[in-house]
Amino acid sequence: MDWGTIINNTLAGLLTPTTIAFALAALGLAMHFGFAGLLNFGIAGFMAIGAYGYAISVLTFGFPWWLGMIVGILGSIGFAILLGVPTLRLRGDYLAIVTIAAAEIARLLFLTTAFTDVTGSADGLFGYNKTGGFTEANPFPPGSYGFGPWTYNSETLWVIVFGLAVLAICVWLLWALMRSPWGRVIKGIREDEDAIRALGKNVFAYKLQALIIGGVFGGMGGIIYAAFANVSPGVYVTSITFFIWTSLLLGGAATIFGPVIGAVIFWTLQAFLSNILPELSSSGILPVDGTQAATLRFVLVGIGLMLLVIYRPQGIFGDKREMTFVK
């Protein structure tokens, strides 16, 4: 067993564009579920809309990269309104059903060959970072940066720095909102929306605002992910939604830093498992072949999620008294 490589790859998972992208999406979910109590199972859809919004507006409409990203954000706002207006008046579980369906519809629309010219169908989209000028906007000269497991070329470093800046803004935004009276109303809605209505607050408007803000965070996650990798419909599948849920619950649903730390832990753990499991199987310790060993980590994710929800529903950073699943 090559422990050096395993540890190196695991530590590298601490800070990658992927980790940042998923931290952003988990932050959006914290707004939705942790604070406003909205059961959104379509966060992958918000990411897809953000990513495709950016890529399509650059490739098809020739927008510069920053305008493309704004289009991605506007897209996720539109998606939130589209989902929210018909469902937010209903009970929470209906939103869960609608969001999971809508995310799948969005993904299948990007996958279908009917719009291949625009969406690239199953191949997805690539090259938009160069066309839109995102690569050119890189302030770091070419070369190797960092040390040990955290050695990046200038392109990756640019995405990481950009991603961290976006993440910092979003974390600040969530923190500033949740400490304010607005946040108090949102938390009150999570507890009992009829009580809030009886106190004269427009519950529907607040829920829609929360859905939009969380959706924008999710869309930003998709954009950061797209700034690093290609945009492909195979990424935004339902299992991604559940990875983000796991990250969120790991860190603590109703916390600010919980989802960020949760995403970091989750992706580090993923890196660790995807390295160690095939190693274990090739050295004969695990009685399965290499491919099975690689998928075994998803089984472990599922088990981990179950154990988490049962034994530590408040997550790592959550208030002990505050258990979202236990009412």
Partner 1 sequence: MSNNESPQKTTGLHIGKAEPGCKKNDPMLVIDHVKKTFGGLTAVDVEHLEIPKGAITALIGPNGAGKTTLFNLLTGFDNPDTGAWSFLGNSLSGIPSFKVAQMGQVRTFQLTKALSLLTVLDNMKLGAKDQAGESIWKALIPGFWKKQDKDIEVKALELLKRFKLEEKKADFAASLSGGQRKLLEMARALMTDPVLVMLDEPMAGVNPALTQSLLEHVLNLKKDGMTVLFVEHDMHMVRHIADWVVVMAEGKVVAEGPPDAVMKEQAVIDAYLGAHQDTDLGVVTGRIDTINEEKSK
125 three-class SS? strand
The first and second tokens of residue 71, run together, are 């289009």
In the chain, the amino acid numbered 69 is M
Sign of the alpha-carbon dihedral angle for 127, 215, 46, 303: positive
Q: Rounded to an integer, what distance in angstroms lies between the CA atom of residue 37 and that of residue 40?
A: 9
215 binds partner 1 (CB under 8 A): no
The first and second tokens of residue 137, run together, are 């906007």
80 contacts: CB under 8 Å, gap ≥ 6? 46, 208, 211, 212, 214, 215, 216
173 binds partner 1 (CB under 8 A): yes
Site string for partner 1, 132-171 (x = CB under 8 A): ----------------------------------------
325 binds partner 1 (CB under 8 A): no
184 binds partner 1 (CB under 8 A): yes
* Closest to partner 1 by CB, 60 or 202: 202
Check if the beta carbon of residue 314 is closer than 8 Å to that of residue 323: yes
Q: Rounded to an integer, what distance in angstroms lies between the CA atom of residue 108 and that of residue 104?
A: 6
Judged by CB under 8 A, the residue of 104, 155, 279, 322 near partner 1 is 322
196 binds partner 1 (CB under 8 A): yes
Q: Rounded to an integer, what distance in angstroms lies between the CA atom of residue 55 and that of residue 122?
A: 15
194 binds partner 1 (CB under 8 A): yes
Please identify, among the stretches 1-9, 23-31, 109-117, 202-210, the one whose residues bind partner 1 according to the rule CB under 8 A.
202-210
Please identify, among the stretches 22-30, 62-70, 192-200, 297-305, the one whose residues bind partner 1 according to the rule CB under 8 A.
192-200
195 binds partner 1 (CB under 8 A): yes
Kindly list the residues in this chain that would bind partner 1 in the complex (CB under 8 A).
173, 176-177, 180-185, 187-188, 190-192, 194-203, 209, 254, 321-322, 327
